[in-house]
């Protein structure tokens, strides 16, 4: 059996070949059936001529509805009228399983496509996105490993918040309250003492109660933690990670990117250094665009989008005000009003694709922050131990992989960046 891609590459013209896949579309006229067959690598037209195949094969080809699974044998012929420029003239057409009438046709609503997501994942569009997504995951692992990072895991059930209590999912754990993890970070900071440079790729959970085009309740989070590194070094790792992902995707999936409307040249330009600006400079830039943000308020989606209209590469905003940042972000020794925290914002969609910081080592400051957020510092006592025994400067960040895929694939909604999205309103299928 060959892949359809191999046939479309023209290496088997004139040969007898076998393929297997699914009927993408089909039409017949008289003694001829034209069936376009799909496998994971592409689409090819198969012509079934009543005179050239056994009777059963012709009857099967004629009856097989869209999404029937088939095995085909025949000769590859170059034919410029066929999609892709090649067709297979069938000698045998075996229907492995006749499909019922497929519920998805053109012009179905977004909601309907989400209801039948288990079938929609086979579509050309989802297949292209999922190939790019696979490439992004691979590139993420490759980058960290090439830089000497060890991959480690944190538990998904946790007793306390990493990113603030309001977006935590509570779970009944044999009668005790625990939460689904928002981030591997707190455990990573402990693990880091043995391994120094670590990363993970894992799901994180956020009880996001607003409908937006960039929030999932379960999303894939690539996170890194590095001993002996400050904010600027962590930013550099983030820049290299993202440019490496762009480079890999362009190498591995150029056709899929084009089919999704993404010009690979856009991604070739995503090279370090990215533009850096302080939070206060971002406010000035926004003011230029007529958008007023009061100092001390976090940037909202609309403001991030306004800001990114200025840039065609990711931008890194640093030195956010202390009051909007998680308890563990290190206060800037040169300005106690701000933290050594940074966000990477994507061009075009303007969304935050990376959030990170240098970590606070002062237990008292962290206690104060937690109290201010309404958390109980005593449930963080194990975490404070990491500062009691050989604390070192350290930094880290988290990258939302689904948001990277959304940006690269030019998707309007993050739910189309993942096969089975979990959002405020959707847990089925
Ligand atoms: O900025 P966040 O909340 O940072 C953390 O969780 C840190 N503990 C990470 C760390 O330093 N190890 O989340 C990191 C990234 C965001 O920049 C965003 O890309 C993504 O995770 N993200 C989401 N992606 C999809 N859906 C959501 N609900 C997301 N929330 C955050
Ligand atoms: Mg953030």
pLDDT digits (tens, 9 = 90+) for 310-328: 999 999 999 999 999 999 9
Q: What is the pLDDT of residues 55-92, one digit of tens each?
A: 999 999 999 999 999 999 999 999 999 989 999 999 99
Confidence of residue 308 (pLDDT cuts 50, 70, 90): very high
Compute and round to an integer the Cα radius of gyration of the chain.
26
Distance 398 CA to ligand 2 centre (A): 8
The answer, yes or no, to whether any atom of ligand 1 lies below 6 A from the CB of 377, is no
Q: Where are the alpha helices (DSSP H) in 309-429?
A: 363-372, 381-388, 401-408
Q: Whose CA is nearest to atom 24 of ligand 1?
A: 400
Q: What is the pLDDT of residues 222-273, one digit of tens each?
A: 999 999 999 999 999 999 999 999 999 999 999 999 999 999 999 999 999 9
Distance 51 CA to ligand 2 centre (A): 65
Distance CA 381, CA 334 (A): 28
Q: What is the pLDDT of residues 386-425, one digit of tens each?
A: 999 999 999 999 999 999 999 999 999 999 999 999 999 9
The answer, yes or no, to whether any atom of ligand 1 lies below 6 A from the CB of 355, is yes
Q: Whose CA is nearest to atom 1 of ligand 1?
A: 355
Ligand closest to the CA atom of residue 183: 1
- The overall average pLDDT reported for the chain is 96
Q: What is the CATH number of domain 117-417?
A: 3.30.930.10
Q: What is the pLDDT of residues 180-211, one digit of tens each?
A: 999 999 999 999 999 999 999 999 999 998 88
The answer, yes or no, to whether any atom of ligand 1 lies below 6 A from the CB of 223, is yes
Instruction: Give the CB-side neighbour count of residue 348, counting CA atoms within 13 A.
Output: 13
**Alpha-carbon 21 to chain mean position:** 27
Q: Whose CA is nearest to atom 27 of ligand 1?
A: 215
Q: What is the pTM of this model?
A: 0.97
pLDDT for 287 beyond 90: yes
In this prediction, residues 131-151 reach a mean pLDDT of: 99
The answer, yes or no, to whether any atom of ligand 1 lies below 6 A from the CB of 406, is no
The answer, yes or no, to whether any atom of ligand 1 lies below 6 A from the CB of 219, is yes
Ligand closest to the CA atom of residue 189: 1
Q: Whose CA is nearest to atom 6 of ligand 1?
A: 183
Residues of the chain with CATH 2.40.50.140: 4-97
Residues of the chain with CATH 3.30.930.10: 117-417
Q: What is the pLDDT of residue 165?
A: 83
Question: Can you tell me which atom of ligand 1 is nearest the CA of 404?
Answer: 19
Confidence of residue 30 (pLDDT cuts 50, 70, 90): very high
Confidence of residue 18 (pLDDT cuts 50, 70, 90): very high
Q: What is the pLDDT of residue 221?
A: 98
Residues with Cβ within 5 Å of ion ligand 2? 355
Q: What is the pLDDT of residue 161?
A: 87
Residue in 219, 299, 405 to alter for ligand 1 test, most ligand atoms within 8 A of Cβ: 219
pLDDT for 164 beyond 90: no
Phi/psi for 395 (5° steps) reads: -145, 165
- The percent of residues in the chain predicted with pLDDT above 70, rounded, is 100
* Beta bridge partner(s), residue 330: none
Ligand closest to the CA atom of residue 299: 2
Residue in 198, 219, 355 to alter for ligand 1 test, most ligand atoms within 8 A of Cβ: 355
What is the per-residue burial (b if ≥16 Cβ within 10 Å, else e) of 107-146? eeeeeebbbebeebeeeeebbbbbbbbebbbebbeebbee
The answer, yes or no, to whether any atom of ligand 1 lies below 6 A from the CB of 405, is no
Q: What is the pLDDT of residue 378?
A: 94
The answer, yes or no, to whether any atom of ligand 1 lies below 6 A from the CB of 394, is no
**Domain 4-97 class, CATH top level:** mainly beta
Structure tokens at 401: 């992989």
| Residues sharing a CB contact under 8 Å with residue 97, sequence separation 6 or more, in sequence order | 68, 69
Q: What is the pLDDT of residue 210?
A: 83
In this prediction, residues 99-109 reach a mean pLDDT of: 95
Q: What is the pLDDT of residues 36-52, one digit of tens each?
A: 999 999 999 999 999 99
Confidence of residue 166 (pLDDT cuts 50, 70, 90): confident
Residue 189, SS3?
Answer: helix
Q: What is the pLDDT of residue 139?
A: 99
Q: Whose CA is nearest to atom 28 of ligand 1?
A: 215
End-to-end, the C-alpha distance of the chain in Å comes to 33
């Amino acid at each position: 059996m060959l892949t359809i891609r191999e046939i479309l590459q023209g290496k088997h013209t004139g040969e007898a070949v076998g393929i297997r896949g699914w009927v993408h579309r089909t039409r017949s006229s008289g003694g001829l059936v034209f069936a376009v067959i799909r496998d994971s690598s592409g689409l090819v037209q198969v012509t079934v001529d009543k005179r050239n195949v056994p009777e059963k094969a012709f009857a099967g080809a004629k009856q097989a509805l869209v999404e029937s699974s088939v095995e085909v044998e025949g000769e590859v012929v170059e034919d410029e009228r066929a999609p892709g420029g090649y067709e297979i003239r069938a000698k045998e057409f075996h229907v492995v399983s006749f499909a019922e009438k497929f519920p998805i046709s053109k012009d179905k609503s977004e909601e309907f496509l989400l209801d039948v997501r288990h079938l929609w994942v086979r579509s050309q569009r989802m297949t292209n996105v999922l190939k790019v997504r696979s490439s992004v995951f691979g590139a993420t692992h490759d980058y960290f490993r090439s830089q000497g990072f060890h991959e480690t895991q944190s538990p998904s059930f946790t007793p306390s918040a990493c990113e603030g209590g309001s977006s935590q999912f509570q779970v009944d754990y044999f009668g005790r309250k625990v939460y689904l993890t928002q981030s591997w970070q707190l455990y990573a900071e402990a693990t880091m003492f043995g391994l120094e440079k670590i990363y993970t790729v894992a799901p994180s959970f956020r009880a996001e109660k607003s409908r937006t085009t960039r929030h999932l309740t379960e999303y894939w989070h690539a996170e890194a933690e590095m001993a002996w590194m400050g904010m600027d070094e962590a930013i550099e790792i983030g820049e290299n990670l993202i440019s490496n992902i762009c480079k890999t995707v362009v190498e591995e999936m150029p056709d899929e990117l084009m089919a999704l409307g993404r010009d690979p040249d856009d991604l070739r330009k995503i090279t370090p250094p990215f533009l850096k600006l302080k939070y206060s400079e971002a406010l000035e830039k926004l003011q230029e665009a007529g958008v007023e943000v009061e100092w001390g308020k976090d940037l909202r989606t609309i403001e991030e989008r306004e800001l990114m209209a200025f840039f065609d590469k990711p931008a890194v905003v640093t030195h956010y005000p202390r009051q909007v940042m998680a308890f563990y972000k290190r206060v800037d020794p040169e300005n106690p009003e701000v933290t050594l925290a940074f966000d990477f914002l994507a061009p075009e969609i303007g969304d935050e694709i990376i959030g990170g910081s240098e970590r606070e080592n002062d237990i008292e400051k962290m206690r104060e922050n937690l109290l201010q957020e309404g958390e109980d510092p005593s449930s963080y006592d194990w975490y404070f131990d990491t500062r009691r025994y050989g604390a070192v400067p350290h930094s880290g960040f988290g990258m939302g992989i689904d948001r990277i895929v959304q940006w690269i694939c030019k998707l309007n909604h993050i739910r189309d960046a993942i096969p089975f999205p979990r959002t405020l309103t959707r847990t089925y299928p």
